[in-house]
A = this chain, B = another copy of it.
Amino acid sequence: MSYEHIRQAAFEANMQLPELGLVLFTFGNVSAVDRNQGVFAIKPSGVPYNELSVEKMVVVDFDGKVVDGTLRPSSDTKTHAVLYKHWPNIGGISHTHSTYATAWAQAQRAIPIYGTTHADHSTLDIPCAPPMSGKMIKGDYEYETGFQIINWFKKKELSYEESEMILVSNHAPFTWGNSAHKAVYNSAVLETIAKMATLTEQVNPKAERLKKALIDKHFERKHGPGSYYGQ
């Protein structure tokens, strides 16, 4: 049993957060999963990015229990664990408090699909899970945050493989993907989408969503069977 590969992946992905301007101090965490071993590596709690190392990544199972590592894992670890346990095809998760995406979470609004930058990554509004109940909060809070995300996807009939981003009301965004690197990529894309949507509504308070035909076209050219984006 070796965890080096997920520690390496989690370390590199975490280090992208400050490079991409997505975090202040320690406000974020990324994890990378090994499905065969049923564990993931995640940032240790409260450690500044410039003090991180591959070895400091903490290895945790899908119940949030530490399997390997000397530091305490991110306080958001149980949220990651729940998502890995219930969504079998994701390889990495990223959580930031990036400014614009967090503002939409605090505003408790889904982000409308106003343009092709958005449509290139999702054919739907970016969902915003509603505030958690007092009972959920007082209970196993981070664990329940994971369920709040999963339940909102169920209620909205969303696919976690097609929509890789969510806002949690009053909190901040979570994103995921087939790797930790892709999860962080989605964090950066979401922040850009959130900023563009904010400015779009400022420039035109009556701005309208994309036509369905355009949504489908942009998504398909990146993701469809006849996709022609990338190499």
Contacts and interface: CB of A to CB of B under 8 A. Distances in A.
A213 B138 contact: yes
A97 B97 CA distance: 23
Given A103-B200, A116-B171, 8 more contacts: A24-B189, A25-B185, A46-B231, A75-B228, A106-B196, A108-B207, A131-B214, A141-B217
A114 interface: yes
A221 interface: yes
Interface in A58-100: 71-72, 75, 97, 99-100
A200 B107 contact: yes
Nearest to A214: B137
Contacts of A25: 185, 188-189
A53 to B, nearest CB: 14
Copies of the protein in its oligomer: 4
A75 B108 contact: no
Given A45-B230, A170-B214, A221-B141, A105 B99 contact: no
B134 A231 contact: no
29 contacts: A24-B188, A45-B229, A45-B230, A46-B229, A46-B230, A47-B231, A72-B230, A72-B231, A99-B195, A99-B199, A100-B199, A103-B202, A106-B196, A106-B197, A107-B200, A107-B207, A108-B204, A109-B204, A114-B170, A116-B172, A131-B214, A134-B211, A137-B213, A137-B217, A138-B213, A138-B217, A198-B202, A198-B203, A202-B202
Nearest to A134: B213
Interface in A161-213: 170-172, 185, 188-189, 192, 195-204, 207-208, 210-211, 213
Given A72-B231, A196-B99, A27 B117 contact: yes
Contact of A207 (B99, B106, B229, B230): B106
